[in-house]
Structure 1
Amino acid sequence: MSVLTSTTGVTSILKTFSGEERHRAKTVAANKVRFSTPKEKGLAESVRVAVEEGNFYLVKEFTFFLWEAELDDDEVVLILKDAKRIVHNLTLDFVNVVEALLSLNWKTRTPEIIEAYTEFWIDIMVAHNRYLPIGVSKLINHWIPGDLDASDWVNGCPLECTRCQLKPTHDVLNRILTAVPMAFDVVMDVISTKFPYFKKPAHVTAGYLFNVLWLIEYKPIFEELILQLVLQKLLVLDVNAPRDQIDVETDDADDKLEADRMFQIDDVSGDNLINAGQTVKHPVGQTLDICLLMLYKFIDSKCRINQNSSDQHRWTANRLFKMLLYIFDEVLLPSHNTHHVQFVLFHVTSIRSAYSEAFLNLLWKKAQNPNVAAIIRHAAVGYMASFLARGKFLPLSTVVFYLKQFSKWIHTYIDESDENNQTCSLKANLVFYSVCQAVFYLIAFRATDLTASSKDVDLVLPWTDTPSGFDTKHKSNLLFLQSLQLSRIAMCQLNPLRYCLAPVATAFAGVTRTYQLAYCHTVLERNARRKLATVYGHDKSMPEETAETFFPFDPYLLKISKKYIEANYVVYQSNDTEDYVHSSAEDRLSRKRRDSEMVEEDEFIILDKRQKYLEISKSQDFDKQY
């Protein structure tokens, strides 16, 4: 203390309080905090004052208290019990305090708090259904994993502790859906709104999908709408994870993995290297991979039928398939250039032959219907061709049946076009060219199966005698291909080979030449010359190109979910009758990177997509080939 202050009696500003004075000052400050009044009055008293006196000040204070205070378990229980007791007074005038009550941290607390919250939640929704959107939204928010919670979710499956925390939210929702039927539409709207953005981390979207599929388990009435929503959301992921980007990142990852192994001296982290290559590196592709894995598991659990399956299980399986078929027709078929989502249908149809027959029947009816838009019919034919080529579970008789149906339709179309003097126009004859390409594609792709091993013996024509030892099955296969009149299809005035994908046309020409079914190389040469660009000064004019075609069941690139597909998937195997396919034209278009084995073997299809204007136009290439 300074001399001046000691003589004048003025207290120094540096003077310290004693312990007793400091405690008294803290008490005074604490008593001035606004939370003291609402905490003392309580929720019931605050609502009573608002209802009887029209004074909402205490309610507002209590609302701030709920949002900002850190409540212990006893306080939460007391507040929830008070709220349940006055639930009928909590009209829309008290929407803010009700929202604060519904936002309480309850999921990780004691069973007593969970039970108290559940009872209040149900009572408030039943008494005042106008709170349903708020309450359901608060509940479903718990289904969305945090961005940093990846360790709690492994390939879309939660750890046991996480599952236990989620169960109360499903129990509450189950009870309210039973008590308030009108909550159905609200729940669907909220689920759709809350679906994570496609760029969210994989565990966030997969975790949300886990909870959405969980909902179907106890409320099957949601099944159709939920599955349709899920496939729509997965389509968004699919179009944002293009095949070429997934392929590039997969190759880069494989190269890095190989380099790591090459320079690894001590094998101390081999497991880490294996785990690193388990999924694709593309972030959206990784999300799609995990989500499709979950969907395949869900379909398996519902549609797998064995001898011990009950009639109810069989009925459920058939019902689910019909839903998926309807969703495919409404959502997937009109979607352009998807890559992996359509394999949901590939997987479910592999389970039972009746499913694959129904799928093909739907597509063929769609393709033949003149009242359906041409682009949809075109897509339906593409699905049929790819499905018939790739489905290992399909008997050869099914492929033969649809080849007959295709050729019959084509010949009828040619007859009508000859009568009407129809011109060779891609736009006017899109469906015709699609069906022709389907025939060419199937014969080129399944040539080994369709011709069996008849190439090992002399070719037998219908008018010749059968040599001794010749397998009549082989002969019947060739007779079947001859009955398709492939030469008439390829040589007709509509010139389908002109608008066919170049690798398909070339492969088809090789197969038909080998088995003397048709001679297409002259048509290919003429078409190649027509496709040459015309240059006017600095302007280049391209002729009408091929129909934009994609084969939906091209090689599957996602790594985790691939195990559900590869067992039933036919990988293209080139045979020695198609050596010309791998000609100098292909060599000029050799890729800068290494493809996966599956893609590499599917070369004659994949190349055309990566290089749209395939350079088969130079006649010297054909001279070398033929």
Structure 2
Amino acid sequence: MGVEVATNYAKMEEDISFTDSQLVYSFRLALKSVSSGDTESYSKLVDVMNPSGRLAPDEAALLLTSTKALSGAVADIDDLHHEKLLKAIFNLSLWNFGPDVIDALLELIVLLAASNGKHVDSCLDMLVSNFTPPNKVLDMLKQPRGLDKKERVLPRVHAALKNISELVPMAASRLSSIVLEQMPWKSKRNVDQWSMKRQLIYVENMFKLESGAIREFVGANMLKDVMIVLRDLDVAIGWDDILHDDSSKGVFMIELEDENYADGDEYADEDGKLPSTLSETSLSKNLTAELLDSLMVQTFEHLESSVSNKRLSEVFDTLLSSFKDTVLNTYKSKFTQFVMFYACALDPEHCGTEFASELIDMFVGGHNPLTRMSAVAYLASFLARGKFLPPAFVASYLGRLVDWCWQYCVMHDGDMNPKLHQVFYSGCQAMMYILCFRMRLMVEIPLLKSQLFCMPIDKIFKHKLDPLKVCLPSIVEEFLKQAKAARLFTSSKTFVFEDLLVSNLSRDFGGLERLDMFFPFDPCLLKNADRSFIRPNYVYWKYVRTTYHEDIDDDDEEDGSDGEVEGVTEFDDDMEEVIISRSYGDNDLEMDEFDYAMNKMSITPRNNSSAGLRMPSRIRPSMSPESL
């Protein structure tokens, strides 16, 4: 009876013979009749709530009327007798209807959740499932019609989630797990164009929850879940997709040679083909990498909006916690960590300081050796590559690192043993890596130069633990070249330097005792994320002014980047503070100079190819984890 009444009601335009209350009453009778075995009216109601295809105007009107009547009779709906009706309601896609029907359906969903605790999860499931549209709508989301549908549906869905959270306190705690369970990437490991589009709009909704009205309850979980998605996609990108093993190259040489490859010079063979090591580095045809790139861009844009809303500090605290739990010790994380890098670039004073402090504290005071080694690798890479970090900032954390290494030397008077002293050697390697990038700028600033020369760096490298023989040869050699040019060591130690450099003792040592690693903030190969967000804040090795290069390019001379600040030729007390606060970045780069950046990566290849090519985010031995 209820459906017949609803049909007549919907068709009436002027002479309406049924009131709303009468209509609700008839629907209540139809629902109650099921328990007595009379299912005719109920079955018709289920059919109305389970439309297929595009609705004609009279069908849409019937659905609207029936939905409103069901809202009035919601107390009579139970999961035992009305399972088919509930299933029909929860399977509806809001993207198929106009605003009036959407509003009526969402009102019904909110009332169902509030009326019976057993319906809460199903109501939340239904709303979250509407984060993503059907394929026919998904394909036109960038068109005006698709954008109109999107603006029609999603704000209403989030308003309904807010209403349910206010009416049912436990709903907010359940929402986070439901969002994670329905995530497209969790259910489909093979990325295609459809899954990419679904994942992007789904994460967009997660960020709406993070910054929306119920962020107090779900915001932190949304950020953590996004970081998990980024990490899982990151790890899914095969290392073979990026770079093939070439153990003859070092950290700095490969990044420089990448530039030459891009210019097509003598590195190409006689047929003009580039060596496979770098010709296969492009991720442009890798759909997983393309999805990760797009999601990273979304994440960076969300960070920027957090700055506008003065919420970056709050967001960063969650990101830092998530980073420690999901990224820090992830063996093959290559790009996800740049979320932290960009957050720090947006607010170096707070985020940059908090990040660096957390890393140095984990290294100095931690207990897990792998975590400590990973933390110091991140610290070194961050301090070396962050264009936004002032020299004084870098010097401060370098000082803490040097102090710890020296205290370790004082407490351990034994001979070199990489297996026993792996954390110490990772600290020494990090120290040298930082100085390879930053030594020139530090020695140009009198106060920082004084601090640097007072550090017991030479004592550390003369100690019996002999880190120069264990750390990565390319880093050792670059560090020693710069240290000699800067006169960081006294004349009595020059012989030690030259002996090491001439004999290549550190390179020859090799084998199980070498400490090979990838630095976490080596150049980002995700094209859009790098070009628009990372690159302006990033120090490339080719633009680092080393202590042994006295000749400056013409472009550098023109922009005053030869150690002078706007014509100042001597450092006086008034200018010292200005210079100390100056970060890397005198040589701003044109965007089109880096079209080849997808093929550019500063890496540390391994010597042993039989163990499989891997890209850890922590310092590790060259042969296997057991070798240290």
Name the TM-score, length of structure 2 as normaliser.
0.70
Tell me which of 291, 294, 298 is aligned to 2:295. 291
- Distance of aligned partners of 1:576 and 1:300 in 2 relative to their CA distance in 1, 3 Å threshold: closer
Q: What does residue range 182-581 of structure 1 map to in structure 2 within 5 Å? A: 182-197=170-185, 198=189, 199-201=191-193, 202-216=196-210, 217-221=212-216, 222-242=218-238, 245-246=241-242, 280-304=284-308, 314=310, 316-352=311-347, 353-370=349-366, 372-418=367-413, 421=414, 423-452=415-444, 473=445, 479-516=450-487, 517=489, 519-520=496-497, 522-523=499-500, 525-531=504-510, 543-562=511-530, 563-573=532-542
Going from structure 1 to structure 2, the CA distance change for 1:59 and 1:288 (only over 3 Å counts) comes to same
AA at the equivalent of 1:223: G
Deviation at 1:116, TM superposition (A): 2.0
Alpha-carbon shift at residue 499 of structure 1 (Å):
2.7
Distance (whole Å) between structure 1 residues aligned to residue 370 and residue 146 of structure 2: 42
Give CA deviations for 1:312-355 in whole Å, capped at 9, x if unaligned: x54x3322222222222222223223111111111111222122
**Cα distance, 1:89 vs. partner?**
1.4
Aligned mates of 2:5, 2:533 — CA distance in 1: 62
Q: Counterpart of 2:184 in structure 1: which amino acid?
A: P
Q: Residue 425 of structure 2 aligns to which amino acid in structure 1?
A: Y
Aligned to 2:418, the other structure's residue is in SS state coil
- The residue type paired with residue 229 of structure 1 is D
Cα offsets for 1:121-170 (capped at 9, x unmatched)? 12111111211222221221121244565643459x97344222323222
- 2-structure distance, mates of 1:598, 1:111: 46
Give 1:14's aligned residue.
Answer: none
Q: Which deviations, in whole Å up to 9, do the C-alpha atoms of 1:67-96 show, x marking residues without a partner?
A: 466661122123213322321111121222
The whole-number CA distance in structure 1 between the counterparts of 2:98 and 2:402 is: 70
User: SS in structure 2 opposite 1:182?
Assistant: helix
Matches of 1:514 and 1:388 in 2, distance apart?
22
In structure 2, distance between residues paired with 1:504 and 1:378: 17
Aligned partners of 2:130 and 2:157 also within 8 Å: yes
Structure 2 match to 1:537: none
1:189–1:575 distance in 2 versus 1, CA, 3 Å: closer
Question: Aligned in 2, Cα 1:526/1:571: closer, same or farther, shift over 3 Å?
Answer: closer
Structure 1 or 2, whichever has the larger Rg, is: 1
Q: Structure 2: which amino acid aligns with 1:568?
A: N
Alpha-carbon shift at residue 230 of structure 1 (Å): 0.6
Structural mapping, 1:6-21, within 5 Å: none
**Kindly tell me: are residues 129 and 513 of structure 1, through their superposed partners in 2, closer, same or farther at Cα, counting changes over 3 Å?**
same
User: Letter of the aligned partner of 2:438 in structure 1?
Assistant: R
CA drift at 1:601: 7.8
Number of aligned residues:
490
What secondary structure sits across from 1:609 in the alignment? coil
CA contact (8 A) 1:46 1:59 kept: yes
Alpha-carbon spacing, 1:479–1:173, altered in 2? closer, same or farther (3 Å): closer
2:420 is paired with a residue whose SS is coil
What is the CA deviation profile of residues 82-115 of structure 1, one whole-angstrom value per residue up to 9, with x for unaligned ones? 3223211111212221121233354442333223
Q: 1:384 to 1:299 in 2, by over 3 A?
A: same
Q: Distance in 2 between matches of 1:566 and 1:346?
A: 11
Q: Which residue of 2 aligns with 1:114?
A: 102
Greater RCO, 1 or 2 (C-alpha within 8 Å, sep 6+): 2
Partner of 2:574: none
Query: For 1:212 and 1:87, how far apart are their aligned partners in 2?
Result: 30
Decide whether the 8 Å contact of 1:66 with 1:101 is kept in 2.
Answer: yes
CA contact (8 A) 2:409 2:463 kept: yes
Give the counterpart letter for 1:78 in structure 2.
Answer: T
**Gap runs ≥5 in structure 2:** 9-22, 245-260, 265-281, 550-593, 610-628
1:17-69 Cα shifts (integer Å, max 9, x gaps) = xxxxxxxxxxxxxxxxxx99999998544422223x25557646754664466
CA spacing shift, 1:389–1:153, aligned 2, 3 Å? farther
State the AA in 2 paired with 1:351.
L
Q: Distance in 2 between matches of 1:104 and 1:428?
A: 62
- 1:521 Cα shift? 5.1
Aligned-partner residue type, residue 369 of structure 1 = G
Distance 1:576 1:364, change over 3 A: closer
Cα pair 1:107 1:168 within 8 Å, conserved: no
Alpha-carbon distance between aligned partners in 1 of 2:600 and 2:449, rounded to the nearest angstrom: 26
Letter paired with 1:558: L
Give the letter for the 1:544 counterpart.
Answer: L
TM-superposed CA distance for 1:490, in Å, is 2.2
Q: Which whole-Å deviations, capped at 9, do the CAs of 1:515-555 have from their partners, x for residues lacking one? A: 34254453463343333xxxxxxxxxxx4143353311111
8 Å CA contact 1:414–1:492 kept in 2: the answer is yes
Distance 1:481 1:110 in 2: 68
Question: Which residue identity is paired with 1:49?
Answer: S
Unmatched runs of 5 consecutive residues or more in structure 1 = 1-34, 249-254, 259-277, 305-312, 453-472, 532-542, 580-594, 614-626
Q: Distance in 1 between matches of 2:75 and 2:449?
A: 81
Q: 1:80 maps to which residue?
A: 67
TM-score relative to the length of structure 1? 0.70
Q: Is the 8 A contact 1:514 1:577 kept in 2?
A: yes
Q: Is residue 38–residue 58 contact of structure 1 (8 Å, CA) maintained in 2? A: no
**What's the secondary structure of 2:130's corresponding residue?**
helix
Alignment RMSD, CA only? 3.6
Alpha-carbon distance in 1 for matches of 2:107, 2:306: 33
Aligned to 1:48: 32
The code of the aligned residue for 1:528 comes to: R
8 Å contact 1:339–1:552 — kept in the other structure? yes
* 1:570 maps to amino acid: V
